[in-house]
Amino acid sequence: MQGISDEYYEAARVDGANSWRAFLHITLPLVLPTIGMVTILTFIWIFNTFDLVFIMQGSSGNPYYSTDLLGTFFYRTAFGDSTTGGEPGQTGIASAIAVLMFLIISIVSYFGIKLLRKSEVEY
């Protein structure tokens, strides 16, 4: 927001805009691409939180899978549940989970970027 030129706000004041109008018509449109990109990157990062849950809870997401994420579910399916000494890994189902994660991230990112490009304002 510091990168927004004061000339925009001065012109808005000359035109009679109050601070709410200046925010709505100047600040928000100029900051929206940054907010959108941060939102997309945060969404992708959410799918990347496997390491925290795995270090703290193991692959089973104890207690009773309450901290289970798609990443830990993928790991447990691919390599088996090492905490209980249970089932061996099922790589076919794990591959399907990985493809599903990829599709979710790709589709949300695609539409997010498309929405950002649509709302770009040229000044």
Give the count of beta carbons closer than 10 Å to the beta carbon of residue 59: 23
Give the count of beta carbons closer than 10 Å to the beta carbon of residue 85: 7
Domain assignment of residue 31, yes or no: no
Q: Supply the range of the domain harboring residue 94.
A: 47-118
- The answer to whether 122 touches 102, Cβ cutoff 8 Å, is no
Predicted pLDDT at 113: 87
Predicted pLDDT at 96: 93
Give the count of beta carbons closer than 10 Å to the beta carbon of residue 31: 14
Q: What is the mean pLDDT of each run of 10 residues along the chain (123 residues)?
A: 86 90 88 88 85 80 79 85 67 91 92 81 56
Domain assignment of residue 60, yes or no: yes
Predicted pLDDT at 85: 56
Q: Count up the domains in the chain and report the number.
A: 1
- State the Cα–Cα distance between residues 92 and 67, nearest whole angstrom: 23
Predicted pLDDT at 121: 58
Predicted pLDDT at 103: 94
Distances (CA, A) of 18 to 4, 8, 11, 21, 123: 17, 13, 11, 5, 21
Domain assignment of residue 6, yes or no: no
